[in-house]
Amino acid sequence: MDNYILGLSAFYHDSSACLIRGDEVVAAAAEERFSRKKHDPDFPISAINYCLEEAGIELKDVEKIVFYEKPFITFERIFETYLTYAPFGYTSFATSFPIWAKEKIFMKSRILDELSKLGDLPKEKINLNFSAHHLSHAAGAFYPSPFDSAAVICMDGVGEWATTTIWHGKNEKLEIKKQINFPHSIGLLYSAFTYFCGFKVNDGEYKLMGLAPYGDPIYADLIKEKLITIKDDGSYEMDMSYFEYTTGLRMTNSKFAALFGGEPRKPESDITQREMDLAASVQKVTEDIILLIAKYAKEITGEDSLCLSGGVALNCVANGKLLRSKLFDELWIQPAASDAGSALGCALAAYYSSNEVKRKVNKSDSMKGCYLGPKYTEKQIKEVLDQAGATYKTMNREELIEEVSSLIAQDKVIGWFSGRSEFGPRALGSRSILGNALSPELQRTINLKIKYRESFRPFAPAMLEDESNEYFDYVKKSPYMLLVDEVKKSHQTKLSSEEEGLKGLDRLRVARSTLPAITHVNNTARIQTVTDESNPDFFKLISAVKSKVGKGVVINTSFNVRSEPIVNSPIDALNCFMNTEMDYLVLENILLKKEDQKIQKKNESKDRTPKKMTMRELLIFWLKVYVFIQILSYVTLPFFGFKRTIYPALVALLPFFFAVATTDLLSSLTIPFKRLLKFIEGGINKVFLGIIFYLILTPYSFLMKIFVRKEASSEDTFWQEGQELLVNKRLF
**DSSP labels for 605-642?**
PPP-PPPPPPHHHHHHHHHHHHHHHHHHHHHHTGGGTP
Looking at the chain, the number of H-run helices and the number of E-run strands are: 24, 22
pLDDT of residue 650: 55
d(CA 8, CA 290): 28
Report angle CA 269, 272, 275 to the nearest 5 degrees: 100
Neighbours of 274 (CB within 10 A): 17
Identity of residue 490? S
Give pairs for 409-412: CB < 8 Å, separation 24+: 409/436, 409/545, 409/548, 409/549, 410/436, 411/435, 411/436, 411/439, 411/441, 411/442, 412/583, 412/584
CB hemisphere CA count around 666 (13 angstroms): 19
d(CA 303, CA 723): 21
pLDDT of residue 710: 64
Classify residue 508 by burial, with Cβ atoms within 10 Å: 0-12, 13-18, 19+: middle
pLDDT of residue 4: 97
d(CA 159, CA 166): 14
pLDDT of residue 395: 97
Q: Could you tell me which of 68, 57, 53, 47 has the C-alpha nearest to residue 114?
A: 47
What residues contact 697, with CB distance under 8 A and at least 6 apart?
82, 83, 86, 93
Classify residue 193 by burial, with Cβ atoms within 10 Å: 0-12, 13-18, 19+: buried
What 8-state DSSP symbol labels residue 411? Answer: T
CA–CA distance from 385 to each of 60, 162, 253, 393, 571 (Å)?
36, 48, 51, 11, 8
Q: Could you tell me which of 693, 684, 679 has the C-alpha nearest to residue 93?
A: 693
What number does CATH give the domain 152-346?
3.30.420.40
CATH architecture of 378-492+504-596: Alpha-Beta Complex (3.90)
d(CA 619, CA 625): 10
Report angle CA 689, 692, 694 to the nearest 5 degrees: 100
Sheet holding 330-333, edge to edge: 330-333, 305-309, 149-155, 162-170, 173-181, 720-721
pTM: 0.89
pLDDT of residue 452: 76
Q: What is the CA radius of gyration of the chain?
A: 28
Question: Which residue numbers in the chain have pLDDT < 50?
Answer: 1, 603-610, 661, 665
Q: How far is CA 321 from the centre of its chain?
A: 23
For 185-217, what is each residue's pLDDT tens digit?
Answer: 999 999 999 999 999 999 999 999 999 999 999
- Complete DSSP assignment for 521-557: TTSEEEEEEE-TTT-HHHHHHHHHHHHHHSS-EEEEE
pLDDT of residue 647: 55
Neighbours of 27 (CB within 10 A): 24
Q: How far is CA 332 from the centre of its chain?
A: 19
CB hemisphere CA count around 165 (13 angstroms): 34
- Which sequence spans correspond to the domains of the chain? 152-346, 378-492+504-596
d(CA 290, CA 327): 11
pLDDT of residue 603: 43
Give pairs for 355-360: CB < 8 Å, separation 24+: 355/3, 357/22, 357/23, 357/172, 358/171, 358/172, 359/23, 359/143, 359/171, 359/172, 360/23
For 419-430, what is each residue's pLDDT tens digit?
Answer: 999 999 999 999
d(CA 48, CA 343): 11
pLDDT of residue 609: 45
